[in-house]
Amino acid sequence: MRHAPLFLGLDIGTSSLKALITNADGSVIAHASAEYPLATPHPGWSEQDPDQWVAAAHAATREALVRACAAGHAEPGRRIAAIGFSGQMHGATFVDRDNRPLRPCILWNDSRSADECEELDRAIGAPVILQRTGNRMLAGFTAPKVRWLQRNEPSLWARTDCVLLPKDYVRLCLGSVRATDAADASGTLYFDVEHRAWSADMLRDLGIATTQVPGCHESPDIVDRLSASAASAMGLAAGIPMVAGAGDQAANAVGSGIVAPGAVAASLGTSGVIFAASDSFRASPDGALHAFCHALPGRWHVMSVMLSAAGSLRWFRDTLARDATARAAAAGVPDYELLDRDAASVAPGCEGLRFLPTLAGERCPFPDPHARGAFTGISLAHGQAHFTRAVMEGVAASMGLCMEMIRAAGIHAPQVIGSGGGFESARWTSMHATAFGIPIVRAEIPDAAARGAAILAAIGAGALDPGTLHPPISQSGTTQPDRSQGPLLQALMEEQALLQRTLRLLKGNK
């Protein structure tokens, strides 16, 4: 009896690697994950050992195969027909001629290169960078990380034979080919997003040789095959085709079915992301939105990234509401459910208390690596519950401003597909739907990026037609905007925009 082929998706996240085994249609057979540490040797630094990703890929795949067997799927290791990849974007992995990492990878959330951003904006010209790449220079991107290494660790730069993104290093270690894809390369800031190719002008001005970047492909393209040594470590057969894959946001969109032009998704996790698919290149005039290639050929997307979304509530819990864990345990509820109940005890608007959620610099809606958060309007009438609700309202208002920018780019969606832990709160979801002015439909797509990676593998193997992709959602999870609260959220958005402009003016006057 011949068994149907299976597909493996590997998602290299910031805290763990997820391995997902699916059928050709993306239905999940088994999944597993393996964690690894994050190093912060200096304030603003964020690094990881690339070889820990590879070890995690081995371990998570083996565990996923065990779980597939336990679920009654015969010989899953022999049935994997292709492997796809997803990964945290922007990370700079510097390797020598033998493909060995020269130092820990500098991650997407590392802000050490803020000075390099300003230097490159002056040297190349911010308008020129935007015209060449469709994006503005930000510390999270790869280009300023390269410049930081050139200036601060020149001996390592002299030995750098190639700069790889995280998922591409993992794939290289599982095979033998240096490769990337247009979606992930879009986040380097030396890639011509409109024409889906490396920007020769940006590479020249950054001092990066064309030999120091990998070959670029479309996400479903087969670019390598699994080596015998990697196959042995993972419990798979040697020679399995491996596709280029995509950066986590584009892969997440594929896994969530956000591929049709005009489809919009919002993720409320540590960061807050709004992703809008398009059939054409749409760079915002000021570069406030990211303009990237989608994971499907002939598609692009625009994306807003707010760095401290649900992460703001986690920070609040861990600092100003440290009693929440003990109170939640006493009440027999999770921490965040207790905070949600606290917020319910306060009237909308928090009696004038406001929260600015720029705790770690910002990308969107106010790009500024030096931005910092604030509570304003504090009075003696405010208690801890007011601060809790103010955090939730401040994040929703900022995400609402991001959605306004998506509309300004010409994308008007009738609804938003919502994912991420923040949307598990009905109250917070309602705030966001009200700020967006359109319904939020809760998606039922755990591990969407890993699922997207597996789907890209199935497309690359010819087992799946990308035209059949659609969001796997439940309409019963729809949250409509609260029209009675619409004026309040709009006022909060306007106040937040005014406060940010004022702070930037004050900073400029120093």
Computed on alpha carbons and rounded to an integer, the radius of gyration of the chain in Å comes to 22
Within 8 A by CB and 6+ apart from 347, the residues are: none
- The amino acid at 125: G
The CA-based dihedral angle spanning residues 405, 411, 417, 418, taken in that order and rounded to the nearest 10 degrees: 0
Count the Cβ atoms, other than its own, within 10 Å of residue 158: 9
Task: Return the active site residues.
Answer: 248
For 58-104, the three-class secondary structure string (H helix, E strand, C coil) is HHHHHHHHHHHHHCCCCCHHHHEEEEEEEECCCCEEEECCCCCECCC
Q: Are 199 and 132 in contact (CB under 8 A)?
A: yes
Q: Are 440 and 416 in contact (CB under 8 A)?
A: yes
The string of DSSP codes covering 427-459 is HHHHHHHHHHTS-EEEE--TTHHHHHHHHHHHH
Within 8 A by CB and 6+ apart from 295, the residues are: 181, 183, 219, 220, 246, 250, 251, 253, 254, 452, 456
Q: Are 263 and 277 in contact (CB under 8 A)?
A: yes
Cα distances from 447 to residues 27, 197, 478, 490, in angstroms, run 12, 29, 21, 33
Q: What share of the chain is helix, strand, coil (3-state, %, to 5)?
A: 40, 20, 35
* Interior angle at CA 42, CA 37 and CA 46, nearest 5: 40
CA distance 426 to 387: 19
Cα distances from 267 to residues 174, 180, 304, 422, in angstroms, run 30, 25, 10, 8
* Closest to 45 in 3D by CA, of 94, 87, 106: 106
Question: 72 burial class (0-12, 13-18, 19+ CB within 10 angstroms)?
Answer: exposed
Cα distances from 264 to residues 6, 228, 261, in angstroms, run 29, 41, 9
CA distance 143 to 241: 30
